[in-house]
Structure 1
Amino acid sequence: MRPLLLVALLSLVVAPAAGAGTAAASAPAAQTDTTLSGTVSYLNGTAVADATVIVGSEGRLGNATEAELREIAADPPDGVVTATTNDSGGYELTVPGDIDAEVVVAVADGGASPPRNYVAGEMDLTVRTTATLSFEPGEVTAEPGERVYVPFSLTNTGDQPVEGLSLSLTLPEGWNHVSANSETGTYHQSNRTFTWGTVEPGETVEAEFRIFVGLNAIDDSAETYELASFADSRTHPIRVPAAAVTVRYPTEATQAEIPGFGPTAAIAAIAALAGAAALARRG
Protein backbone atom coordinates (compact mmCIF):
# COMPACT_ATOMS: atom_id res chain seq x y z
CA MET A 1 0.00 0.00 0.00
CA ARG A 2 2.89 2.36 0.54
CA PRO A 3 3.72 2.78 -3.17
CA LEU A 4 0.10 3.69 -3.93
CA LEU A 5 0.08 6.20 -1.09
CA LEU A 6 3.27 7.79 -2.42
CA VAL A 7 1.78 8.17 -5.92
CA ALA A 8 -1.36 9.80 -4.51
CA LEU A 9 0.67 12.29 -2.52
CA LEU A 10 2.83 13.19 -5.54
CA SER A 11 -0.26 13.81 -7.70
CA LEU A 12 -1.60 16.26 -5.14
CA VAL A 13 1.68 18.18 -5.06
CA VAL A 14 2.50 18.18 -8.81
CA ALA A 15 -0.97 18.93 -10.25
CA PRO A 16 -1.34 22.44 -8.78
CA ALA A 17 2.18 23.31 -9.89
CA ALA A 18 1.37 22.30 -13.46
CA GLY A 19 -1.77 24.45 -13.45
CA ALA A 20 0.16 27.41 -12.16
CA GLY A 21 2.66 27.02 -15.01
CA THR A 22 -0.14 27.09 -17.60
CA ALA A 23 -1.58 30.27 -16.14
CA ALA A 24 1.84 31.92 -16.17
CA ALA A 25 2.40 30.98 -19.80
CA SER A 26 -0.91 32.57 -20.89
CA ALA A 27 -0.24 35.92 -19.16
CA PRO A 28 0.48 38.82 -21.61
CA ALA A 29 4.05 39.97 -21.94
CA ALA A 30 4.91 43.08 -19.97
CA GLN A 31 4.93 46.29 -22.11
CA THR A 32 8.10 48.32 -21.80
CA ASP A 33 8.80 51.97 -22.47
CA THR A 34 11.10 52.96 -25.37
CA THR A 35 13.02 56.12 -26.19
CA LEU A 36 13.55 58.10 -29.39
CA SER A 37 15.88 61.01 -30.09
CA GLY A 38 17.34 62.84 -33.06
CA THR A 39 17.11 66.09 -35.00
CA VAL A 40 14.58 67.80 -37.25
CA SER A 41 15.89 69.86 -40.19
CA TYR A 42 14.95 71.24 -43.59
CA LEU A 43 16.32 69.67 -46.77
CA ASN A 44 19.22 72.11 -46.85
CA GLY A 45 20.26 71.07 -43.35
CA THR A 46 18.89 74.08 -41.47
CA ALA A 47 17.67 73.09 -38.01
CA VAL A 48 13.94 73.39 -37.31
CA ALA A 49 13.30 74.84 -33.87
CA ASP A 50 9.91 74.46 -32.14
CA ALA A 51 8.85 71.60 -34.41
CA THR A 52 6.64 68.92 -32.86
CA VAL A 53 7.63 65.27 -33.17
CA ILE A 54 4.62 62.95 -32.90
CA VAL A 55 4.58 59.18 -32.34
CA GLY A 56 1.38 57.20 -32.76
CA SER A 57 -0.50 54.63 -34.80
CA GLU A 58 -0.45 54.24 -38.57
CA GLY A 59 -4.19 54.84 -38.68
CA ARG A 60 -3.91 58.20 -36.95
CA LEU A 61 -0.70 59.59 -38.46
CA GLY A 62 -0.05 57.70 -41.69
CA ASN A 63 -2.34 59.75 -43.92
CA ALA A 64 -2.90 62.81 -41.73
CA THR A 65 -2.85 66.17 -43.49
CA GLU A 66 -0.54 68.92 -42.35
CA ALA A 67 -3.50 70.73 -40.77
CA GLU A 68 -4.49 67.58 -38.87
CA LEU A 69 -0.92 67.11 -37.65
CA ARG A 70 -0.88 70.68 -36.36
CA GLU A 71 -4.12 70.04 -34.46
CA ILE A 72 -2.59 66.94 -32.88
CA ALA A 73 0.55 68.90 -31.98
CA ALA A 74 -1.48 71.70 -30.37
CA ASP A 75 -3.68 69.36 -28.32
CA PRO A 76 -2.30 65.79 -28.26
CA PRO A 77 -5.10 63.21 -27.95
CA ASP A 78 -4.85 59.90 -26.14
CA GLY A 79 -2.74 57.36 -27.98
CA VAL A 80 0.07 59.66 -29.10
CA VAL A 81 3.18 61.10 -27.51
CA THR A 82 4.90 64.32 -28.59
CA ALA A 83 8.10 66.30 -28.09
CA THR A 84 9.20 69.80 -29.14
CA THR A 85 12.55 70.45 -30.78
CA ASN A 86 15.07 72.84 -29.22
CA ASP A 87 16.91 75.70 -30.95
CA SER A 88 19.28 73.18 -32.55
CA GLY A 89 16.43 71.06 -33.89
CA GLY A 90 17.12 68.29 -31.38
CA TYR A 91 14.47 66.26 -29.58
CA GLU A 92 14.12 63.28 -27.29
CA LEU A 93 11.08 61.55 -25.90
CA THR A 94 10.00 58.48 -23.99
CA VAL A 95 7.27 56.37 -25.58
CA PRO A 96 5.16 54.54 -22.96
CA GLY A 97 4.63 50.86 -23.56
CA ASP A 98 0.87 51.27 -23.91
CA ILE A 99 1.24 53.65 -26.91
CA ASP A 100 0.65 52.04 -30.30
CA ALA A 101 3.96 53.32 -31.67
CA GLU A 102 3.92 52.63 -35.42
CA VAL A 103 4.66 55.97 -37.08
CA VAL A 104 6.75 59.03 -36.27
CA VAL A 105 6.34 62.40 -37.99
CA ALA A 106 7.43 66.01 -37.41
CA VAL A 107 5.36 69.11 -38.11
CA ALA A 108 6.45 72.76 -38.05
CA ASP A 109 5.23 76.15 -39.25
CA GLY A 110 7.06 75.61 -42.54
CA GLY A 111 5.76 72.12 -43.33
CA ALA A 112 5.89 68.49 -42.23
CA SER A 113 8.13 65.47 -42.63
CA PRO A 114 7.05 62.31 -44.46
CA PRO A 115 5.72 59.66 -42.03
CA ARG A 116 8.33 57.06 -41.04
CA ASN A 117 8.01 53.70 -39.36
CA TYR A 118 8.79 53.93 -35.66
CA VAL A 119 12.01 52.30 -34.54
CA ALA A 120 13.26 53.05 -31.04
CA GLY A 121 16.67 54.67 -30.80
CA GLU A 122 17.77 57.58 -32.99
CA MET A 123 15.89 59.05 -35.95
CA ASP A 124 16.52 62.28 -37.87
CA LEU A 125 13.49 63.79 -39.61
CA THR A 126 13.41 66.14 -42.62
CA VAL A 127 10.66 68.75 -42.97
CA ARG A 128 9.48 69.62 -46.47
CA THR A 129 8.19 73.16 -46.81
CA THR A 130 4.72 73.46 -48.29
CA ALA A 131 4.28 77.13 -49.23
CA THR A 132 3.37 77.20 -52.92
CA LEU A 133 5.55 79.42 -55.10
CA SER A 134 4.71 80.57 -58.59
CA PHE A 135 6.58 81.08 -61.86
CA GLU A 136 4.95 84.05 -63.58
CA PRO A 137 5.10 84.11 -67.41
CA GLY A 138 5.16 87.40 -69.28
CA GLU A 139 2.57 88.36 -71.90
CA VAL A 140 3.83 88.02 -75.47
CA THR A 141 2.49 89.26 -78.81
CA ALA A 142 3.94 87.78 -81.99
CA GLU A 143 3.40 87.25 -85.70
CA PRO A 144 3.76 84.02 -87.71
CA GLY A 145 7.42 83.25 -88.40
CA GLU A 146 8.63 85.71 -85.78
CA ARG A 147 11.22 84.83 -83.13
CA VAL A 148 10.10 86.09 -79.72
CA TYR A 149 11.17 85.78 -76.10
CA VAL A 150 8.84 84.16 -73.55
CA PRO A 151 9.96 85.33 -70.08
CA PHE A 152 9.36 83.72 -66.69
CA SER A 153 10.18 84.90 -63.17
CA LEU A 154 9.84 83.41 -59.69
CA THR A 155 10.37 85.08 -56.32
CA ASN A 156 10.93 82.97 -53.22
CA THR A 157 8.37 84.62 -50.97
CA GLY A 158 8.79 81.99 -48.24
CA ASP A 159 11.26 81.86 -45.39
CA GLN A 160 13.09 78.71 -46.51
CA PRO A 161 15.45 78.18 -49.48
CA VAL A 162 14.13 76.49 -52.61
CA GLU A 163 16.16 73.48 -53.73
CA GLY A 164 16.11 71.63 -57.06
CA LEU A 165 14.05 74.17 -59.00
CA SER A 166 13.34 73.39 -62.67
CA LEU A 167 11.29 74.89 -65.53
CA SER A 168 10.41 73.73 -69.04
CA LEU A 169 8.12 74.91 -71.86
CA THR A 170 6.33 72.90 -74.55
CA LEU A 171 5.44 74.29 -77.97
CA PRO A 172 2.66 73.61 -80.50
CA GLU A 173 3.42 71.67 -83.66
CA GLY A 174 5.30 73.78 -86.16
CA TRP A 175 6.85 75.99 -83.47
CA ASN A 176 10.49 75.57 -82.41
CA HIS A 177 12.89 76.38 -79.60
CA VAL A 178 15.61 78.76 -80.79
CA SER A 179 17.60 79.56 -77.65
CA ALA A 180 17.26 80.22 -73.93
CA ASN A 181 18.82 82.57 -71.41
CA SER A 182 19.04 83.03 -67.64
CA GLU A 183 21.58 84.87 -65.48
CA THR A 184 21.09 82.49 -62.56
CA GLY A 185 19.88 79.21 -64.07
CA THR A 186 21.42 76.52 -66.24
CA TYR A 187 19.73 75.57 -69.51
CA HIS A 188 19.91 71.93 -70.60
CA GLN A 189 19.57 71.69 -74.36
CA SER A 190 18.91 67.93 -74.27
CA ASN A 191 15.53 68.31 -72.57
CA ARG A 192 15.05 72.09 -72.97
CA THR A 193 14.84 72.59 -69.21
CA PHE A 194 16.21 75.26 -66.88
CA THR A 195 17.53 74.22 -63.46
CA TRP A 196 18.69 76.27 -60.50
CA GLY A 197 20.68 75.60 -57.36
CA THR A 198 19.57 77.13 -54.08
CA VAL A 199 17.11 80.02 -54.31
CA GLU A 200 17.28 81.92 -51.04
CA PRO A 201 14.27 83.60 -49.37
CA GLY A 202 13.53 86.90 -51.10
CA GLU A 203 15.59 85.99 -54.17
CA THR A 204 14.10 86.28 -57.67
CA VAL A 205 15.14 84.10 -60.60
CA GLU A 206 14.36 84.84 -64.23
CA ALA A 207 14.54 82.87 -67.46
CA GLU A 208 13.45 83.34 -71.04
CA PHE A 209 12.87 80.96 -73.91
CA ARG A 210 13.37 82.30 -77.42
CA ILE A 211 10.95 80.54 -79.74
CA PHE A 212 10.01 80.50 -83.41
CA VAL A 213 6.28 81.04 -83.97
CA GLY A 214 4.91 78.62 -86.55
CA LEU A 215 3.92 79.95 -89.95
CA ASN A 216 0.54 78.25 -89.64
CA ALA A 217 -0.20 79.91 -86.29
CA ILE A 218 -2.94 82.13 -87.74
CA ASP A 219 -5.32 82.49 -90.64
CA ASP A 220 -7.09 85.84 -90.89
CA SER A 221 -7.55 86.93 -87.27
CA ALA A 222 -5.56 87.13 -84.04
CA GLU A 223 -5.36 83.99 -81.93
CA THR A 224 -3.97 83.37 -78.43
CA TYR A 225 -1.97 80.21 -77.76
CA GLU A 226 -1.47 78.89 -74.23
CA LEU A 227 1.92 77.18 -74.06
CA ALA A 228 2.06 74.49 -71.40
CA SER A 229 4.78 75.08 -68.82
CA PHE A 230 6.12 72.68 -66.20
CA ALA A 231 7.99 73.49 -62.98
CA ASP A 232 9.08 71.52 -59.93
CA SER A 233 11.40 71.57 -56.91
CA ARG A 234 12.51 69.21 -54.15
CA THR A 235 11.30 71.48 -51.38
CA HIS A 236 8.27 73.51 -52.50
CA PRO A 237 5.17 73.00 -54.61
CA ILE A 238 5.64 75.16 -57.71
CA ARG A 239 2.75 76.64 -59.68
CA VAL A 240 3.28 77.81 -63.25
CA PRO A 241 0.43 79.16 -65.41
CA ALA A 242 0.44 78.57 -69.14
CA ALA A 243 2.37 81.17 -71.11
CA ALA A 244 0.00 83.11 -73.36
CA VAL A 245 1.27 84.10 -76.80
CA THR A 246 -1.11 86.19 -78.89
CA VAL A 247 -0.41 85.76 -82.60
CA ARG A 248 -1.70 88.55 -84.82
CA TYR A 249 -2.02 88.76 -88.58
CA PRO A 250 1.40 89.55 -90.06
CA THR A 251 2.07 93.13 -91.02
CA GLU A 252 3.70 94.14 -94.30
CA ALA A 253 7.02 94.71 -92.52
CA THR A 254 6.99 91.26 -90.95
CA GLN A 255 6.05 89.55 -94.21
CA ALA A 256 9.34 90.69 -95.68
CA GLU A 257 11.23 88.79 -92.95
CA ILE A 258 9.47 85.43 -92.70
CA PRO A 259 10.22 82.47 -94.97
CA GLY A 260 8.33 82.81 -98.24
CA PHE A 261 7.93 86.56 -97.82
CA GLY A 262 11.56 87.69 -98.11
CA PRO A 263 12.77 90.33 -100.58
CA THR A 264 13.47 87.82 -103.36
CA ALA A 265 10.06 86.22 -103.00
CA ALA A 266 8.42 89.63 -102.86
CA ILE A 267 10.15 90.78 -106.06
CA ALA A 268 9.20 87.56 -107.81
CA ALA A 269 5.61 87.96 -106.66
CA ILE A 270 5.48 91.54 -107.94
CA ALA A 271 6.97 90.49 -111.28
CA ALA A 272 4.43 87.71 -111.59
CA LEU A 273 1.58 90.08 -110.84
CA ALA A 274 2.91 92.58 -113.40
CA GLY A 275 3.16 89.86 -116.03
CA ALA A 276 -0.34 88.69 -115.32
CA ALA A 277 -1.65 92.23 -115.65
CA ALA A 278 0.11 92.68 -118.99
CA LEU A 279 -1.39 89.47 -120.32
CA ALA A 280 -4.80 90.58 -119.19
CA ARG A 281 -4.46 93.87 -121.06
CA ARG A 282 -3.40 92.06 -124.24
CA GLY A 283 -6.38 89.77 -123.96
Structure 2
Amino acid sequence: MKKGKKVSKLAFHEALRGYLFIAPALILLLGLLFLPMVKGFGYSLTDFNILKNWDYNFIGLENFQKILKNRDFPVILKNEVFFALTVTVITVIVSILIALLLNSVKRCKNIVRALVFMPWVLPEVVVGSLWRWLLNGEKGLINSVLVDYWHVLPEHIQFFSSSLSLISVCMVYIWRTYPYVTIMLSAGLQGIDRGLYEAASIDGCGKIKQFRYVTLPGLKYVLSICSLMAMIWTMNGFGIINILTAGGPGVSSTTLPMVIYKTAFQKFRFGLASGYSVIQFFIIMVFALIYLKMTKATKEEEA
Protein backbone atom coordinates (compact mmCIF):
# COMPACT_ATOMS: atom_id res chain seq x y z
CA MET A 1 0.00 0.00 0.00
CA LYS A 2 2.80 2.37 0.98
CA LYS A 3 4.66 1.44 -2.18
CA GLY A 4 1.61 2.37 -4.29
CA LYS A 5 1.35 5.73 -2.53
CA LYS A 6 5.05 6.41 -3.17
CA VAL A 7 4.65 5.60 -6.87
CA SER A 8 1.61 7.87 -7.22
CA LYS A 9 3.38 10.65 -5.32
CA LEU A 10 6.44 10.29 -7.55
CA ALA A 11 4.24 10.40 -10.67
CA PHE A 12 2.55 13.55 -9.35
CA HIS A 13 5.90 15.27 -8.78
CA GLU A 14 7.11 14.24 -12.24
CA ALA A 15 3.94 15.65 -13.82
CA LEU A 16 4.24 18.84 -11.75
CA ARG A 17 7.84 19.26 -12.87
CA GLY A 18 6.75 18.90 -16.50
CA TYR A 19 4.05 21.56 -16.08
CA LEU A 20 6.58 23.89 -14.45
CA PHE A 21 8.87 23.51 -17.46
CA ILE A 22 6.13 24.46 -19.91
CA ALA A 23 4.68 27.19 -17.67
CA PRO A 24 6.78 30.05 -19.20
CA ALA A 25 5.63 29.10 -22.71
CA LEU A 26 2.01 28.88 -21.55
CA ILE A 27 2.24 32.31 -19.90
CA LEU A 28 3.65 33.81 -23.12
CA LEU A 29 0.92 32.09 -25.14
CA LEU A 30 -1.71 33.44 -22.77
CA GLY A 31 -0.30 36.97 -22.90
CA LEU A 32 0.38 37.14 -26.64
CA LEU A 33 -2.53 35.14 -28.03
CA PHE A 34 -5.49 34.49 -25.76
CA LEU A 35 -5.69 37.82 -23.94
CA PRO A 36 -5.55 39.88 -27.19
CA MET A 37 -8.18 37.54 -28.64
CA VAL A 38 -10.51 38.12 -25.68
CA LYS A 39 -9.82 41.86 -25.86
CA GLY A 40 -10.63 41.83 -29.58
CA PHE A 41 -13.99 40.21 -28.84
CA GLY A 42 -14.60 42.95 -26.28
CA TYR A 43 -13.63 45.77 -28.66
CA SER A 44 -16.04 44.40 -31.29
CA LEU A 45 -18.89 45.42 -28.98
CA THR A 46 -17.67 49.03 -28.65
CA ASP A 47 -17.23 52.13 -30.83
CA PHE A 48 -13.47 52.24 -30.10
CA ASN A 49 -11.81 54.90 -32.28
CA ILE A 50 -8.35 56.30 -31.46
CA LEU A 51 -9.30 59.64 -33.02
CA LYS A 52 -11.74 60.10 -30.13
CA ASN A 53 -9.02 60.31 -27.46
CA TRP A 54 -9.12 56.54 -26.92
CA ASP A 55 -12.60 56.78 -25.39
CA TYR A 56 -15.10 54.10 -26.29
CA ASN A 57 -18.62 53.09 -25.35
CA PHE A 58 -20.43 49.77 -25.30
CA ILE A 59 -22.71 49.57 -28.36
CA GLY A 60 -23.61 45.87 -28.38
CA LEU A 61 -23.97 44.28 -31.82
CA GLU A 62 -24.07 47.58 -33.71
CA ASN A 63 -20.72 46.94 -35.42
CA PHE A 64 -21.95 43.60 -36.76
CA GLN A 65 -25.11 45.27 -38.04
CA LYS A 66 -22.97 47.83 -39.91
CA ILE A 67 -20.86 45.04 -41.40
CA LEU A 68 -23.89 43.08 -42.61
CA LYS A 69 -25.42 46.24 -44.10
CA ASN A 70 -22.19 47.10 -45.93
CA ARG A 71 -22.92 46.54 -49.63
CA ASP A 72 -19.32 45.43 -50.23
CA PHE A 73 -19.38 42.76 -47.52
CA PRO A 74 -20.92 39.96 -49.68
CA VAL A 75 -18.19 40.55 -52.30
CA ILE A 76 -15.46 40.53 -49.63
CA LEU A 77 -16.86 37.33 -48.12
CA LYS A 78 -17.04 35.68 -51.55
CA ASN A 79 -13.43 36.75 -52.23
CA GLU A 80 -12.31 35.25 -48.91
CA VAL A 81 -13.94 31.88 -49.56
CA PHE A 82 -12.82 31.72 -53.21
CA PHE A 83 -9.28 32.74 -52.24
CA ALA A 84 -8.99 30.15 -49.45
CA LEU A 85 -10.46 27.22 -51.38
CA THR A 86 -8.65 27.94 -54.66
CA VAL A 87 -5.22 28.35 -53.08
CA THR A 88 -5.63 25.34 -50.77
CA VAL A 89 -6.92 22.90 -53.40
CA ILE A 90 -4.47 23.85 -56.17
CA THR A 91 -1.54 24.04 -53.73
CA VAL A 92 -2.21 20.50 -52.49
CA ILE A 93 -2.56 19.09 -56.03
CA VAL A 94 0.60 20.84 -57.28
CA SER A 95 2.51 19.83 -54.15
CA ILE A 96 1.59 16.15 -54.55
CA LEU A 97 2.87 16.15 -58.15
CA ILE A 98 6.12 17.93 -57.25
CA ALA A 99 6.65 15.69 -54.19
CA LEU A 100 6.31 12.60 -56.42
CA LEU A 101 8.85 14.09 -58.85
CA LEU A 102 11.23 14.94 -56.00
CA ASN A 103 10.93 11.42 -54.67
CA SER A 104 12.07 10.05 -58.03
CA VAL A 105 15.10 12.37 -58.33
CA LYS A 106 18.34 10.45 -57.89
CA ARG A 107 21.05 13.09 -58.31
CA CYS A 108 21.48 16.45 -56.55
CA LYS A 109 18.36 15.77 -54.47
CA ASN A 110 19.31 18.26 -51.74
CA ILE A 111 19.98 21.04 -54.27
CA VAL A 112 16.65 20.42 -56.00
CA ARG A 113 14.83 20.47 -52.65
CA ALA A 114 16.54 23.74 -51.72
CA LEU A 115 15.39 25.32 -55.00
CA VAL A 116 11.84 24.04 -54.49
CA PHE A 117 11.76 25.39 -50.93
CA MET A 118 13.08 28.85 -51.89
CA PRO A 119 9.71 30.65 -52.36
CA TRP A 120 8.73 29.70 -48.81
CA VAL A 121 11.80 31.24 -47.16
CA LEU A 122 11.60 34.53 -49.07
CA PRO A 123 10.04 37.41 -47.08
CA GLU A 124 6.52 38.41 -48.10
CA VAL A 125 7.77 41.87 -49.11
CA VAL A 126 10.21 40.30 -51.56
CA VAL A 127 7.59 37.90 -52.95
CA GLY A 128 5.02 40.67 -53.38
CA SER A 129 7.47 43.10 -54.99
CA LEU A 130 8.86 40.40 -57.31
CA TRP A 131 5.46 39.34 -58.61
CA ARG A 132 4.23 42.93 -58.86
CA TRP A 133 7.07 43.53 -61.31
CA LEU A 134 6.56 40.22 -63.15
CA LEU A 135 2.81 40.77 -63.59
CA ASN A 136 2.95 44.49 -64.39
CA GLY A 137 0.51 45.26 -67.20
CA GLU A 138 2.91 47.49 -69.15
CA LYS A 139 6.53 46.62 -68.37
CA GLY A 140 6.20 43.28 -66.58
CA LEU A 141 8.51 40.45 -67.60
CA ILE A 142 5.66 38.02 -68.34
CA ASN A 143 3.88 40.46 -70.66
CA SER A 144 7.17 41.44 -72.32
CA VAL A 145 8.02 37.81 -73.09
CA LEU A 146 4.54 36.74 -74.24
CA VAL A 147 3.69 39.85 -76.28
CA ASP A 148 6.89 41.65 -77.29
CA TYR A 149 9.28 38.72 -77.81
CA TRP A 150 7.26 35.56 -78.52
CA HIS A 151 4.21 37.39 -79.95
CA VAL A 152 1.94 34.73 -78.45
CA LEU A 153 -0.67 37.30 -77.40
CA PRO A 154 -1.92 40.35 -79.34
CA GLU A 155 -1.92 42.66 -76.30
CA HIS A 156 -0.69 42.88 -72.73
CA ILE A 157 -2.63 41.07 -70.01
CA GLN A 158 -3.79 43.37 -67.23
CA PHE A 159 -3.20 40.97 -64.35
CA PHE A 160 -4.30 43.55 -61.78
CA SER A 161 -7.58 44.50 -63.45
CA SER A 162 -10.84 43.99 -61.57
CA SER A 163 -11.51 40.71 -63.41
CA LEU A 164 -8.04 39.17 -62.92
CA SER A 165 -6.68 40.69 -59.70
CA LEU A 166 -7.99 37.99 -57.35
CA ILE A 167 -6.85 35.20 -59.68
CA SER A 168 -3.39 36.80 -59.85
CA VAL A 169 -3.25 36.99 -56.05
CA CYS A 170 -4.27 33.31 -55.83
CA MET A 171 -1.50 32.36 -58.27
CA VAL A 172 1.15 34.18 -56.23
CA TYR A 173 -0.04 32.62 -52.97
CA ILE A 174 0.07 29.15 -54.55
CA TRP A 175 3.67 29.81 -55.60
CA ARG A 176 4.42 31.01 -52.07
CA THR A 177 2.71 28.13 -50.22
CA TYR A 178 3.45 25.02 -52.29
CA PRO A 179 7.09 24.54 -51.09
CA TYR A 180 6.08 23.89 -47.47
CA VAL A 181 3.35 21.42 -48.45
CA THR A 182 5.70 19.76 -50.95
CA ILE A 183 8.44 19.18 -48.37
CA MET A 184 5.91 17.77 -45.88
CA LEU A 185 4.46 15.41 -48.50
CA SER A 186 7.94 14.42 -49.66
CA ALA A 187 8.78 13.42 -46.09
CA GLY A 188 5.49 11.51 -45.92
CA LEU A 189 6.32 9.62 -49.11
CA GLN A 190 9.60 8.44 -47.64
CA GLY A 191 7.69 7.01 -44.69
CA ILE A 192 5.58 4.69 -46.87
CA ASP A 193 6.81 1.09 -46.82
CA ARG A 194 8.35 0.22 -50.21
CA GLY A 195 7.12 -3.32 -49.75
CA LEU A 196 3.56 -2.09 -50.30
CA TYR A 197 4.49 -0.88 -53.78
CA GLU A 198 6.21 -4.19 -54.55
CA ALA A 199 3.15 -6.14 -53.38
CA ALA A 200 0.86 -3.92 -55.45
CA SER A 201 3.10 -4.38 -58.49
CA ILE A 202 3.02 -8.17 -58.08
CA ASP A 203 -0.79 -8.00 -57.92
CA GLY A 204 -0.79 -6.26 -61.29
CA CYS A 205 -1.37 -2.67 -60.15
CA GLY A 206 -0.01 0.01 -62.45
CA LYS A 207 1.33 3.39 -61.37
CA ILE A 208 -2.12 4.99 -61.19
CA LYS A 209 -3.56 2.22 -59.01
CA GLN A 210 -0.45 2.26 -56.80
CA PHE A 211 -0.94 5.98 -56.32
CA ARG A 212 -4.63 5.53 -55.51
CA TYR A 213 -4.39 2.53 -53.17
CA VAL A 214 -0.90 2.94 -51.65
CA THR A 215 0.36 6.53 -51.93
CA LEU A 216 -2.83 8.45 -51.10
CA PRO A 217 -3.76 6.33 -48.04
CA GLY A 218 -0.16 6.61 -46.83
CA LEU A 219 -0.26 10.40 -47.15
CA LYS A 220 -3.76 10.89 -45.72
CA TYR A 221 -2.64 12.16 -42.32
CA VAL A 222 0.01 14.51 -43.77
CA LEU A 223 -2.47 15.76 -46.37
CA SER A 224 -5.02 16.53 -43.65
CA ILE A 225 -2.56 18.61 -41.63
CA CYS A 226 -1.08 20.39 -44.67
CA SER A 227 -4.49 21.22 -46.15
CA LEU A 228 -5.75 22.65 -42.88
CA MET A 229 -2.59 24.68 -42.32
CA ALA A 230 -2.57 26.00 -45.90
CA MET A 231 -6.21 27.05 -45.59
CA ILE A 232 -5.65 28.90 -42.30
CA TRP A 233 -2.51 30.63 -43.63
CA THR A 234 -4.34 31.67 -46.79
CA MET A 235 -7.37 33.04 -44.95
CA ASN A 236 -5.02 35.11 -42.78
CA GLY A 237 -2.96 36.27 -45.78
CA PHE A 238 -2.37 40.02 -45.89
CA GLY A 239 1.16 41.14 -46.78
CA ILE A 240 1.35 39.90 -50.37
CA ILE A 241 -2.17 41.10 -51.22
CA ASN A 242 -1.36 44.52 -49.79
CA ILE A 243 1.75 44.82 -51.97
CA LEU A 244 0.19 43.39 -55.15
CA THR A 245 -3.20 45.08 -55.29
CA ALA A 246 -3.99 46.64 -51.87
CA GLY A 247 -7.36 44.92 -52.28
CA GLY A 248 -8.22 46.72 -55.50
CA PRO A 249 -9.35 47.75 -57.96
CA GLY A 250 -12.33 48.62 -55.79
CA VAL A 251 -12.90 45.55 -53.64
CA SER A 252 -12.22 43.02 -56.41
CA SER A 253 -9.33 41.42 -54.47
CA THR A 254 -10.22 42.58 -50.96
CA THR A 255 -10.30 39.81 -48.36
CA LEU A 256 -11.18 40.04 -44.66
CA PRO A 257 -7.57 40.71 -43.49
CA MET A 258 -7.37 43.60 -45.97
CA VAL A 259 -10.63 45.19 -44.81
CA ILE A 260 -9.56 44.71 -41.17
CA TYR A 261 -6.29 46.53 -41.89
CA LYS A 262 -7.97 49.39 -43.77
CA THR A 263 -10.68 49.82 -41.13
CA ALA A 264 -8.22 49.80 -38.22
CA PHE A 265 -5.16 51.62 -39.56
CA GLN A 266 -6.60 53.92 -42.22
CA LYS A 267 -9.98 54.78 -40.70
CA PHE A 268 -8.85 54.11 -37.08
CA ARG A 269 -12.17 52.41 -36.27
CA PHE A 270 -10.79 49.64 -34.09
CA GLY A 271 -14.20 48.59 -32.80
CA LEU A 272 -15.52 47.95 -36.31
CA ALA A 273 -12.24 46.28 -37.33
CA SER A 274 -12.55 43.96 -34.32
CA GLY A 275 -16.03 43.05 -35.56
CA TYR A 276 -14.55 41.96 -38.90
CA SER A 277 -11.88 40.00 -37.00
CA VAL A 278 -14.51 38.14 -34.99
CA ILE A 279 -16.34 37.21 -38.19
CA GLN A 280 -13.09 35.98 -39.75
CA PHE A 281 -12.33 33.93 -36.63
CA PHE A 282 -15.67 32.13 -36.82
CA ILE A 283 -15.33 31.53 -40.58
CA ILE A 284 -11.93 29.89 -40.04
CA MET A 285 -13.36 27.83 -37.17
CA VAL A 286 -16.28 26.65 -39.33
CA PHE A 287 -13.95 25.65 -42.18
CA ALA A 288 -11.61 23.86 -39.76
CA LEU A 289 -14.44 21.98 -38.03
CA ILE A 290 -16.00 20.89 -41.34
CA TYR A 291 -12.63 19.69 -42.59
CA LEU A 292 -11.83 17.82 -39.37
CA LYS A 293 -15.29 16.22 -39.37
CA MET A 294 -14.80 15.04 -42.97
CA THR A 295 -11.39 13.62 -42.04
CA LYS A 296 -12.84 11.86 -39.00
CA ALA A 297 -15.68 10.39 -41.07
CA THR A 298 -13.16 9.03 -43.58
CA LYS A 299 -11.14 7.39 -40.80
CA GLU A 300 -14.28 5.78 -39.34
CA GLU A 301 -15.22 4.37 -42.76
CA GLU A 302 -11.76 2.85 -43.11
CA ALA A 303 -11.98 1.34 -39.62
TM-score, normalising length: structure 1 = 0.25
Q: Which structure: larger Rg?
A: 1
TM-score, normalising length: structure 2 = 0.24
Which structure has more strand as a fraction of its residues? 1
Structure of higher RCO (CA pairs closer than 8 Å, 6+ residues apart): 2
